[in-house]
Structure 1
Amino acid sequence: MPENMLPLEDAQAILLSHIEPTPVIEVPVWRAQGLPVARDIVTDIDLSPFANSAMDGYAVRAADLARASADQPVTLTVVGHEAAGHVFAGAVEAGQAVRIMTGAPVPAGADAVVKYEIVTVSGGDGNEGSQVTFTEPARVGDNIREAGLEARAGEVVVHAGEVLTPAGCGLVASAGAATAPVHTAPRIGVISLGTELVAPGDLPDRGQIRDSNSSALMASAVAAGAEPEFFGIAADDADEIEGLIRRAAASCDFVITSGGASAGDYDFVTGLIEREGEVLFDRIAMKPGKAITFGIFAGKPFLGLSGNPAAAVVGFEMLARPAIRKMLGHPVLPRPRQTARIAHDVRKRGPRRFYNRARVERDAATGELTVTEARSQNSALLSTMQAANCLLEIAEDSKGLKAGDEVSCLRLDIDEGTVL
């Protein structure tokens, strides 16, 4: 391991140990889709609260049809009609049936439902006062969904930490909850550092470049579930940098800067955090993104990322994204990994772990996964990050890869926890 550099996993562990979930709020159930609930959700009634029909047909007493056959059909008298939301007030007695619709409560006395398609209307229109004939027996419970089939009153229908799907939102609503408890979206303060930077809408002069990092990092924050706020561009001036970082720390849950200052990466930034807070690490043994500072400033977690755009995005992916997800109450899980065969040789120099931008695809002929590295791994290029759907992980002690080698790919286009 290079001197003074932390392994990525150690850096992640340090950072996450200083991250806490954000406060809990109640939001409309449908707004909670895709978020983990912060507390168990308990139903106040049985789901369903009554036994109901699984299909359109006739509610009957199974005993009445015990001997029904094609040779000895059984005819019953229809004494009522029950649709969803309409309750038949009486009870089904021997020789009787009730016309019933899907979802309607099974009337008292009935213990089976026979689907409409196998019943013959032998007199009338099939509704109240009609005669209906059956040529098959019915078993107790046929086509009936029992009360409490999904859950009983007092039972947990969604557990704390469980991510609500659209169907889960409906389940929570049926359990009597109009709102769901979730963690607030963390506010992420984003700052770009560098005298050479100008706003995206400005035309740069010689020696200037447009600030792309703020847009990329705020988009990354949104993708992780956070609410970013841009606090501006700071020139290479210690007082100006400190002012913006103090403003961000005062109103945000997490502060993220990108870019260096003065002659060395993060000279002003690291010095400020050392002086006013605590630096927990400032070098990671990975490429791109070696020079990353993490610490605590004004009681808030602070992450200083590389000024190189691709390196900043990779650093965010490896460190800020897990932190944001923890703030939201998600379990701490990595992006899914896939094993694929590298399509070409890859050279590697240096003892750091490499995360090379790449694209993994399935070969139409063989069905095998093949990964192709971006032609350039220059950490200033965002176009290669835009085209990538994975990061090709190359171990610290690797001397390079040969075409056909099996390699590990960290999928950037698939959410954490997805089973591949």
Structure 2
Amino acid sequence: MAGLTPPEPGDCFAHEGGLLSVEAAAALVTARIVPLHGTEELPLRAARGRILAEPLVATSDLPPFANSAVDGYAFRRADLPQDAILPVAARIAAGQAAEPLPPGTAARILTGAPIPPGADAVAMQEDTRPAGLAIPTNIAITLPRDLPEGANIRPAGEDIAAGELALRAGHRLDAPALGLAAALGRPRLRVTRRPVIGVFSTGDELVEPGQPLRPAATHDSNRHTLLALLDALPAEAQDLGILPDRALATAEALHEAAARHDLLLTSGGVSAGEEDHVRRAIEANGTLHFWKLAVKPGKPAAMGMIAGTPVLGLPGNPVAAVVAFLHLARPLILRLAGAATTPLPRLTAPAAFSHRKKPGRREYLRVSLVDGAAHRYPRDGAGLLASLARTEAFAELPEDAIAIDAGDPLTVIPYGGLF
């Protein structure tokens, strides 16, 4: 199981120090979380989304031979006579071996076909014309005289040279990376082991979707949101159900689950109320590394360790849980999986609204991007799950900001690729 190093005396990350900034929390995760041991080899398609365990080094050039970038005619520039007309001596298609180009001739060549030995340029078909006979029966072609050496030729190793590092260990394998591995002749890749993540919801008020609601109850959404977020990461998520609002039951469930998982995620139970048992269970049975983030929404979030396994308690409000997940759980899981540092995607867009905030906490507003501008969702509540489904990004307002006016540049975190 993965672990966290215990806090040292005077640790600046200790929860007694007040609200913890997003950067300090991320630094804690990076410094304390140890990547998991263990790898496996998978076929390319099964490796999508996984973390590369070892460097991928090219054992041959890519492309493996010089080839034509266009349909046209290959020729040796020094052979071009004054009238720029050469007889066409051969036709070369992709996948066909090329014979040496006879002196004083050109070769009809198609895209991807190997450059015949002796040729040093390719003229695009549209830049040539038949010399007296109609295509396709012509036996001579008029070529442009001003083509430089190497024109329209893709040299061997233009993409990746033999011996070159193609992908670093820790690279998350997406479609382009898998395509590159295939192009280099690799049918399988060695990847890191996926961390096993146990997910709890907490609260006596929660009922499983599909079950009738009793008085004062609500259907559990956070656990299903978190499980879906985990599906977008290199992790194996396990649904551990709903914890009741009982201190002993919470402590026992967390301790038992810690022995079987690399990380535990909970939602709810981390505030200061008498029915908030997760934080207290971490403190009583392990080590609490921090509690409370300088973030709105998402302030109540607890991170610690029970029996050698990291435990991350997220807020109970749905939007706050998602914000805390992106800033805490996502980097933690990527670190466990051995991934290279991958910050949240950010772009800039002008505000299409005005907003006032108190300084001291980073604030996240739900926005939609319309004609390049960020339009704020009309309601702000941290419990409004529909606000996430109806928007496409968070506007990130820095701690020292107190006012946003229409037209001001905003840092925006798009949901795409995260959700």
- Report matched runs for 1:4-403 at 5 Å: 4-22=18-36, 23-33=38-48, 37-69=52-84, 74-76=85-87, 78=89, 80-89=90-99, 91-116=100-125, 118-120=128-130, 131-134=139-142, 136-137=144-145, 140-260=149-269, 264=273, 267-328=276-337, 329-336=339-346, 338=348, 340-341=350-351, 343-346=353-356, 348=358, 353=361, 355-362=363-370, 369-377=373-381, 379-394=382-397, 401=403, 403=405
Root-mean-square deviation over aligned CA pairs = 3.5
Q: How far is the alpha carbon of 1:258 from its aligned partner?
A: 1.6
CA–CA distance in structure 2, aligned partners of residues 261 and 159 of structure 1: 38
Distance 1:313 1:146, change over 3 A: closer
Distance 1:108 1:186, change over 3 A: same
Distance 1:31 1:330, change over 3 A: farther
The one-letter code matched in structure 2 to 1:375 is: R
2:224 is paired with a residue of what secondary structure? helix
Query: Does the 8 Å CA contact 2:265/2:314 hold for their aligned counterparts?
Result: yes
1:315 is paired with a residue of what secondary structure? helix
CA deviation string 1:229-265 (max 9, x = no partner): 1111121233432343234323322101122289836
CA–CA distance in structure 1, aligned partners of residues 404 and 380 of structure 2: 18
Distance 1:33 1:66, change over 3 A: farther
The one-letter code matched in structure 1 to 2:26 is: Q
The one-letter code matched in structure 2 to 1:53 is: S
Length-normalised TM-score, structure 2: 0.80
1:251 is paired with a residue of what secondary structure? coil
The one-letter code matched in structure 2 to 1:110 is: A
Distance 1:126 1:356, change over 3 A: closer
| Structure having the higher Rg | 1
The one-letter code matched in structure 2 to 1:18 is: R
Query: Does the 8 Å CA contact 1:197/1:208 hold for their aligned counterparts?
Result: yes
CA–CA distance in structure 2, aligned partners of residues 42 and 252 of structure 1: 33
CA–CA distance in structure 2, aligned partners of residues 82 and 394 of structure 1: 59
CA deviation string 1:180-226 (max 9, x = no partner): 34434432211112222221111121132222221122122223443
Unmatched tracts of structure 2, length 5 or more: 1-14
Q: How far is the alpha carbon of 1:120 from its aligned partner?
A: 2.3
Q: How far is the alpha carbon of 1:132 from its aligned partner?
A: 1.9
Query: Does the 8 Å CA contact 2:129/2:142 hold for their aligned counterparts?
Result: yes
CA–CA distance in structure 1, aligned partners of residues 294 and 143 of structure 2: 77
The one-letter code matched in structure 2 to 1:134 is: T
The one-letter code matched in structure 1 to 2:140 is: V
Q: Choose from 412, 415, 418 the match for 1:413.
A: 415
CA–CA distance in structure 2, aligned partners of residues 12 and 140 of structure 1: 52
Distance 1:327 1:67, change over 3 A: farther
Query: Does the 8 Å CA contact 1:4/1:283 hold for their aligned counterparts?
Result: yes
Length-normalised TM-score, structure 1: 0.80
Query: Does the 8 Å CA contact 2:245/2:275 hold for their aligned counterparts?
Result: no
Q: Identity of paired residues, percent?
A: 34
Query: Does the 8 Å CA contact 1:25/1:182 hold for their aligned counterparts?
Result: yes
Range with greater deviation from structure 2 (130-139 or 180-189) = 130-139
CA–CA distance in structure 2, aligned partners of residues 346 and 198 of structure 1: 37
Q: How far is the alpha carbon of 1:76 from its aligned partner?
A: 2.7
CA deviation string 1:159-187 (max 9, x = no partner): 34445553443322222212234434432
CA deviation string 1:85-123 (max 9, x = no partner): 22245x333344444332222233434444455252667
2:40 is paired with a residue of what secondary structure? strand
Q: What residue is the counterpart of 2:6 in the other structure? A: none
Work out the number of aligned pairs and report it.
400
Range with greater deviation from structure 2 (135-144 or 303-312) = 135-144
